[in-house]
């Protein structure tokens, strides 16, 4: 037999990028996740975080985590199914369900695990899943774990979605799964059309709202609320690691659906529960968001300002209505070179490479926080414009 590790020694993009000194990953933070950070000894303006509401440095929320750490210790040492349920877990689930206008919520230890746990619980061997091709990787891994049949439709192509729905046998159950806000492109799912087609063909609808919670809808309630479709979307999935400044994830649905998932979801049953401090931070961030819905407006306004300033600097962007603004860089090596150049000048952005994009459509993903100021955006965009601005 061949050596299992043989693949580890082959040439790769990562090795080539290191040799050319354009490797863009694993830059180490030396400060809090904020609008300005210290990264590898130098000040950088952070345009690569999912900390959309800027709550990771909020003193009130930090204090909630400290209190929980002191009261409950470092962890729960077991799964929610057995010894790992705190009253605080139940409190978070109850308050989040009310916020999302759903009957019930169950929480998971990570967002990635949430998709694994939801999809594998709800979709059986004889069922089907229909996925947008640009859905998050955790959705695809959840589909694999379910053993159901997965069909994919071209990104945001409703005609192709209908073609895939027509392939599902009448004897099978079907779950249509879409990101609410697509994490790389920043575009919003065509949820009204998705819901209409799902109803027409008898399918259920699941929305991964990892990048929608705190960003869209009334008070940041997400994509379904944004479209007025809260009662039409069967399952919400989301994370606490973005707008709610913590770690973990959730499923929101009807109470009977949640109860079923709690008793069959292997990633839920066989994983340790959210640590007390993470749970307390998510709960405190949720309460802060409810008390300060204006922070969602602030996020929208600073994102719109950044979008306008990038255009003024003649930087080619992908249009969106969210805090995610991707910048065109096209080829892989050019993308890596531009990312390092921008980083060296004091701005952190995220390169997006294949397989997340086609080979000649690479991007630099910028994302914005409600706590960014216009002077900081001006400084960052000025640097990006010097590197990426197109001659006029």
Q: What is the pLDDT of residues 64-121, one digit of tens each?
A: 999 999 999 999 999 999 999 999 999 999 999 999 999 999 999 999 999 999 999 9
Of the residues 89, 149, 242, 338, only one is catalytic, namely 242
Pick the CATH number of 4-54+293-388 from 1.10.3720.10, 3.90.1490.10, 3.40.50.170, 3.90.1150.10: 3.90.1150.10
Q: What pLDDT score does 356 carry?
A: 84
Q: What pLDDT score does 359 carry?
A: 85
Asked if residue 293 has pLDDT above 90, the reply is yes
- Selection from 1, 43, 16 nearest residue 343 by Cα: 43
Q: What pLDDT score does 111 carry?
A: 97
- For residue 353, give both structure tokens: 């490479």
Report the DSSP pairing between strands 42-46 and 36-39: antiparallel
Of the residues 183, 265, 273, 278, only one is catalytic, namely 183
**What are phi and psi for residue 282, nearest 5 degrees?**
-60, -40
Tell me if the bond preceding 166 is cis, omega within 30° of 0: no
Mean pLDDT along residues 197-214: 98
Active site residue 242: yes
Q: For the chain, give percent helix, strand, coil, nearest 5.
A: 45, 20, 40
Q: What pLDDT score does 57 carry?
A: 97
| Percent with pLDDT over 70 in the chain | 100
Q: What is the pLDDT of residues 299-313, one digit of tens each?
A: 999 999 999 999 999
Give SS3 for 268.
helix
Domain borders along the chain are 4-54+293-388, 59-291
Active site residue 303: no
CB 79 within 8 A of CB 275: no
**Highest CATH level, class, for 59-291:** alpha beta
Give SS3 for 78.
coil
In sequence order, what are the residues at sequence separation of 6 or more whose Cβ sits closer than 8 angstroms to the Cβ of residue 90?
Answer: none
- Selection from 168, 170, 167, 177 nearest residue 144 by Cα: 177
Q: What is the pLDDT of residues 345-371, one digit of tens each?
A: 999 999 999 888 888 899 999 999 999
Identify the residue whose tokens are 């994302």.
367
Asked if residue 127 has pLDDT above 80, the reply is yes
Report the DSSP pairing between strands 347-348 and 42-46: parallel
Q: What pLDDT score does 358 carry?
A: 84
Q: How many CB atoms lie within 10 A of CB 328?
A: 15
Q: Supply the pTM of this predicted model.
A: 0.96
Buried b (16+ CB within 10 A) or exposed e, 143-163: bebbebbbbbbebbeeebbbe
Q: What pLDDT score does 390 carry?
A: 84
User: Across 121-245, where does the E strand assignment appear?
Assistant: 128-132, 149-153, 174-179, 204-208, 235-239
Residues 110, 112, 115, 121, CA torsion sign: negative
Report the DSSP pairing between strands 362-367 and 324-330: antiparallel
- For residue 4, give both structure tokens: 């299992």
Of the residues 211, 241, 243, 303, only one is catalytic, namely 211
Q: What pLDDT score does 176 carry?
A: 98
Active site residue 101: no
Mean pLDDT along residues 38-43: 97
Q: What pLDDT score does 122 carry?
A: 98
**How far is the C-alpha of 86 from the C-alpha of 78, rounded, in Å?**
11
Q: How many CB atoms lie within 10 A of CB 12?
A: 11
- Calculate the average pLDDT of the chain: 96
User: Radius of gyration (Cα) for the chain, nearest Å?
Assistant: 21
- DSSP code for 185: T
Please list the residues that pair with 326 across neighbouring strands. 365
């Amino acid at each position: 037999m061949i050596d299992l590790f043989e693949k580890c020694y082959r040439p790769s993009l990562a090795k080539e990028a290191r040799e050319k000194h354009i490797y863009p990953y694993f830059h180490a933070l030396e400060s809090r996740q904020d609008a300005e950070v210290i990264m590898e000894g130098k000040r950088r303006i952070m345009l690569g975080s999912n900390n959309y509401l800027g709550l990771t440095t909020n003193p009130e929320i930090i204090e909630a985590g400290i209190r929980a750490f002191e009261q409950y210790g470092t962890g729960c040492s077991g799964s929610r199914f057995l010894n790992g349920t705190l009253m605080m877990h139940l409190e978070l689930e109850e308050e989040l369900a009310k916020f999302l206008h759903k009957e019930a919520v169950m929480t998971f230890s990570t967002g990635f695990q949430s998709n694994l746990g939801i999809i594998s619980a709800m979709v059986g061997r004889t069922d089907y899943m229909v996925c947008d091709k640009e859905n998050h990787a955790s959705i695809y891994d959840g589909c694999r774990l379910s053993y159901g049949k997965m069909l994919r439709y071209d990104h945001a192509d409703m005609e192709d979605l209908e073609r895939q729905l027509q392939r599902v046998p009448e004897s099978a159950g079907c779950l249509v799964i879409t990101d609410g806000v697509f994490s790389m492109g920043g575009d919003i799912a065509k949820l009204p059309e998705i819901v209409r087609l799902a109803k027409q063909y008898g399918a259920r609808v699941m929305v991964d709202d990892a990048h929608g919670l705190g960003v869209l809808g009334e008070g940041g309630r997400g994509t379904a609320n944004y479209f007025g479709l809260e009662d039409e979307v069967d399952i919400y999935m989301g994370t606490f690691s973005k707008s709610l400044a913590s770690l973990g994830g959730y499923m929101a649905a009807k109470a009977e659906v949640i109860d079923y998932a709690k008793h069959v979801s292997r990633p839920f049953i066989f994983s340790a529960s959210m640590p007390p401090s993470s749970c307390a931070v998510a709960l405190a961030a949720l309460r802060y968001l409810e008390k300060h819905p204006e922070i969602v407006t602030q996020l929208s306004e600073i994102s719109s300002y950044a979008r306008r300033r990038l255009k003024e600097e003649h930087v080619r962007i992908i249009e969106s209505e969210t805090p995610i603004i991707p910048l065109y860089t096209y080829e892989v090596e050019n993308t890596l070179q531009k990312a390092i150049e921008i980083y060296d000048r004091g701005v952190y952005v995220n390169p997006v490479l294949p397989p997340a994009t086609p080979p000649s459509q690479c991007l630099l993903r910028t994302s914005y926080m409600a706590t960014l100021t216009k002077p900081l955006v001006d400084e960052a965009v000025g640097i990006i414009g010097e590197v990426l601005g197109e001659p006029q």
